[in-house]
Structure 1
Amino acid sequence: MGAAAPDGIDLVVDTVGGEQLTAALRVARRGARFALVGALAGQLAPHLDGDSAPVEIDTFRVIAQGITLRGYSGRDHPGVAEEWAERFGDWLRSGAISFPHVRIPGIERARRALQELFEGRHFGTVVVELSSH
């Protein structure tokens, strides 16, 4: 993680947890903010039941660096999904933002596409396109 962020990290939106969260905390700058919005590391781990996502956190570093960790659930904010879809869609259509993605043709490849995503074979979003039958 240090090579990917040589100047440190100020803000993280974490959807995975696990080793990625631990690594990001190691390079977090003073006052960094972490929004924890998912726990894929726990949900997809074969040795866990999907109801937990244990991760090792250096609490001394969190305190000494003044790092903020905050969990976020859209269920706590009615209407946010609609607002997000509208804003995000506008940004994409206008070209104000773009994001890395790969398209995989055919729903029959969905399982393999998910596995490849977790193996790190794809960067960004993986879109599985439905067949046009």
Structure 2
Amino acid sequence: MRAARCRRYGPPGGLAVVELGDLEPGPGEVLVRVQAAAVNFPDLLLVANRYQVPAPLPFTPGSEFAGFVAALGPGVSGPPVGTAVAGAVLTGAFAEQVVVPVAGLRPIPSGLDMVHAAAFHVTYATAYHALVTVGQGVAGEWAAVLGAAGGVGSATVDVATRLGMRVVAAASSQERLAVARKLGAQATVDYVHEDLKARIRELTGGDGVHLVIDPVGGDHSEAALRALRRGGRFVTVGYADGRIPRIPLNLVLLKDAVVRGFEIRMLRQYAPDAVKAGDRVLARMVSDGMRPLVSRVHPLADVASALTDVAERRATGKVVIDMTGGV
């Protein structure tokens, strides 16, 4: 099988596509023939050895995929061979085959092709649970979304709007804000050229937002926290800026604010009922026409370019690697 391999830590340009032996599923595992795999920001961190959990060299990066069940390991009774599935792993998805614990697989919502199925679950589940399970957002509230044209950000704008929230989308250019407006954002802020705190307060009638979803970090986090109304909630879900913010705790005290973190990998362990509820809501949204924003699709041979698109913020929404195209 063909697979992208990281042989040394560093920028994504160091990745190479190589031939490896076919995989075999072990006890409790399923072998999936990968059709498409989406690029997520943690993939870049793993390749650079900057993620919370290191991946020993050499390894195949990639965490989110869609494909067909090819074989079942010992003790696994299903899903049947040939079933279309999506799933997530820490590493291994940027390859023609991946082995994953059966619990890490899920059915593909009706209406999604393989490219969109690969791009769907991680970002849309992150968006839903950051907004609802952790952020306690409800219809009618103002929600500020940072990095609103990125993978998690665009999904969060989409889901929040469909849940009836009023979204203030914040991004780094007018072109990226136009993407957020198409997804339903009611108001936008260019946080490169505008004062994020002041503009959010102005757009919300002076009171500020009820909820902030922040997948960016860096300098914008504190400004967004300052734009919360009293008793508001701030959910940190990632640091695409590359810098982890240092938040003055007196702001939390003075605003009576709630600051929470969200990391999707552990959700199925500590909140299985919430996961099931979220999956049902997201499936209904897909049936109503919701689709993840996929702006670029690369063949596996261009895996380094695909990751560089994300690293340099050249793309909006998701970047996907199509295992069935190219050489």
Letter in 1 for 2:259: L
Which structure shows the bigger proportion of residues in strand conformation? 2
8 Å CA contact 2:296–2:315 kept in 1: the answer is no
1:127 is paired with a residue of what secondary structure?
A: strand
Is it true that 1:110 corresponds to 2:300 in the alignment? no
Structure 2's unaligned 5+ residue stretches are 1-190
Q: Deviations over 1:6-65 (max 9, x none)?
A: 5343212333434443342233333221223x33449xx5xxxxxxx7421132222212
The alpha-carbon deviation at position 83 of structure 1 amounts to 4.1
1:120 equivalent in structure 2: 313
8 Å CA contact 1:103–1:129 kept in 2: the answer is no
2:248 equivalent in structure 1: 58
Name which one, 1 or 2, has greater alpha-carbon Rg: 2
Q: Determine the C-alpha separation between the residues in 2 that align with 1:16 and 1:60.
A: 22
CA 1:109 to 1:79, structure 2 compared with 1: closer, same or farther past 3 Å?
farther
RMSD, aligned CA: 3.2
Q: Determine the C-alpha separation between the residues in 1 that align with 2:252 and 2:293.
A: 30
Structure 1's unaligned 5+ residue stretches are 46-52
2:130 equivalent in structure 1: none
CA 1:112 to 1:26, structure 2 compared with 1: closer, same or farther past 3 Å?
farther
Letter in 1 for 2:315: H
2:281 equivalent in structure 1: 87
CA 1:114 to 1:67, structure 2 compared with 1: closer, same or farther past 3 Å?
farther
Is it true that 1:67 corresponds to 2:248 in the alignment? no
8 Å CA contact 1:105–1:131 kept in 2: the answer is no
Letter in 1 for 2:210: D
- Correspondence for 1:15 among 211, 215, 234: 215
CA 1:132 to 1:117, structure 2 compared with 1: closer, same or farther past 3 Å?
closer
The alpha-carbon deviation at position 114 of structure 1 amounts to 2.8
TM-score under structure 2 normalisation?
A: 0.31
8 Å CA contact 1:12–1:33 kept in 2: the answer is yes
- Correspondence for 1:76 among 270, 279, 285: 270
1:60 is paired with a residue of what secondary structure?
A: helix
CA 1:55 to 1:99, structure 2 compared with 1: closer, same or farther past 3 Å?
same
2:324 equivalent in structure 1: 131
Q: Percent identity?
A: 26
